[in-house]
Amino acid sequence: MDDAECMRPEEIRTFVEQAFPHEAGHILVGRVLGVPIFGLDHIVIRGQNRELLPGNFATVSRSPAPDAVSITPPNVLEAYMYMAGGGLAGNIVSGVKPDELGLEKDRADLKVVSTKTLEEVAEESGKIIKQSMAVFDELTDAIRNSYTDLVKDPAMPAGRYPLLTDNHLEKICPQNKKLFPAWLYIPVDFSQM
């Protein structure tokens, strides 16, 4: 049984509301620092009574392959580290309590590239967000609006749906493509895509 099936309606609303600034934080920090981020997806699931339930939100990005970390340039690892901390930073900056399940995944992603804690990294990631609050707010609103539009159809099938594409993100928060051309040459883990 999926975790969302055990949640009460108010817990579902809280989970969804915390995801908006969380994902906006990942996206903003990653794109500013040159981590390739291509979009944001949402996984729609159905409950036992076929009710529409929220699943995970998934930032579509590249990450260093665990077996290639030793040959990945340190500045690329550092950028990925701050992107991983961007979700918690987004929650902190917005004053919205994060979901522990989402933080577990971020901690696992961070562990691949750093021994720092997620909280330590989020502190630095928060500084990047605070320098671009208008963009952060616009991303948060775009995620919220896209999600609201997506779940208007009560008959939609379960599955993975794009909330924001690369084109949407480019208009709000252009991808820094100059910072890390090294991303083109390092082995990439596409499991997040």
pLDDT digits (tens, 9 = 90+) for 79-127: 999 999 999 999 999 999 998 988 999 999 999 999 999 999 999 999 9
How many distinct structural domains can be found in the chain?
1
Taking the model in full, what pTM does it have? 0.87
Where residue 150 sits, what CATH number does that domain have? 1.20.58
In a domain, 190, yes or no: no
In a domain, 186, yes or no: no
- Which of the four pLDDT bands, split at 50, 70 and 90, describes residue 184? very low
pLDDT score at 191: 44
In a domain, 178, yes or no: no
CA distances from 169 to 26, 32, 84 (A): 12, 12, 18
In a domain, 180, yes or no: no
Contacts of 24 (CB under 8 A, 6+ apart): 90, 136, 139, 140, 143
141/135 Cα distance (integer angstroms): 10
161 and 57 in contact (C-beta within 8 Å)? no
The structure tokens listed for 36 are 């390739």
In a domain, 71, yes or no: yes
